[in-house]
Amino acid sequence: MTDMTGKTVMITGASRGIGEAAARIFAEAGANVALLARSEDRIAEIAGEIGKQAVAIPCDISRYWEVETAVKSVVDAFGRLDVFIGNAGVLEPIVHLETADPEEWGHVIDVNLKGVFNGVRATMPVMLAAGGGTIINISSGAAHRPLEAWSAYCASKAGAAMVTSSAHLEGADRGLRVMGLSPGTVATQMQRDIKASGINPVSQLEWEDHVPPDWPARTLLWMCGPEADAYLGQEVSLRDDDVRRRVGLVA
């Protein structure tokens, strides 16, 4: 396990799924963790379970000023910010383009794309001033291919992947470690929503086809160590058996 003692990690979308699992796993590795989400009560509950090394910060990542304020709160609480994990994301509306509601479609862009930009924009200056840091954004296979009725999700994830690549291009020579993680399908509420839609091949997968949330969470921890340096500026895919072995998820 990568030792994160004394390091501070900020995680968006930390109220459930991958974000919650990551908060717990990073805390187990010794890190201070800041949990960001709109679900104020839930992140407060999780932070309370983790203990004094965790803080809960209610935040709507689609609003830059809220993210910027959250970053300042993290630095005030722990004195530093070493890792930012842009995990928060939404899928719905699952709808065909010709019937999509423009406001609902735009909301996905606000959260999945602008939210990633807001996180990168607010954390990069802090990390650069400190001499470096790690930024990992959660990507998806949907960033690279269209899926029926997922136009907003696919477009937002494609844009977020480009923000990640741009951050690497602009920050790598100044100490930033920037990567994406494509976790594949994960056993979270999002997959239940996808299943209920009955649209496109992803909805046909069975529950046992999905990986547990602790797999991407453990991979995020591994990506913060030097073993992952070969992937800087790239997208780590949990569909890759070699990655799974490197992380220690499979023999």
CA distance 130 to 145: 37
Query: What is the structure's pLDDT at 187?
Result: 74
Nearest Cα neighbor of 172 from 132, 139, 136 is 132
CB distance 173 to 122 below 8 Å = no
DSSP string of 190-223, one letter each residue:
HHHHHHHH--TGGGG--GGGSBPTHHHHHHHHHH
Instruction: Return the sign of the alpha-carbon dihedral for residues 181, 183, 188, 189.
Output: positive
Side chain identity, residue 29? A
CB distance 218 to 248 below 8 Å = yes
CB distance 56 to 44 below 8 Å = yes
CA distance 134 to 229: 11
Nearest Cα neighbor of 236 from 219, 211, 213, 214 is 219
Query: What is the structure's pLDDT at 209?
Result: 67
Residue 153 bears catalytic tag: yes
Element at 32 (helix H, strand E):
strand 32-37
In the chain, where are the structural domains located?
A: 8-185+213-241
Catalytic-role residue among 78, 153, 215, 222: 153
Question: How many CA within 13 A on the CB side of residue 106?
Answer: 3
Return phi, psi of residue 90, to 5°.
-130, 155
Helix (H, G, I), strand (E, B) or coil at 118: helix
pLDDT in tens, the chain (251 residues): 789 999 999 999 999 999 999 999 999 999 999 999 999 999 999 999 999 999 999 999 999 999 999 999 999 999 999 999 999 999 989 999 999 999 999 999 999 999 999 999 999 999 999 999 999 999 999 999 999 999 999 999 999 999 999 999 999 999 999 999 999 777 777 778 888 888 877 777 776 667 788 899 999 999 999 999 999 999 999 999 999 999 999 87
Query: What is the structure's pLDDT at 186?
Result: 79
* Arch. (CATH architecture) of 8-185+213-241: 3-Layer(aba) Sandwich (3.40)
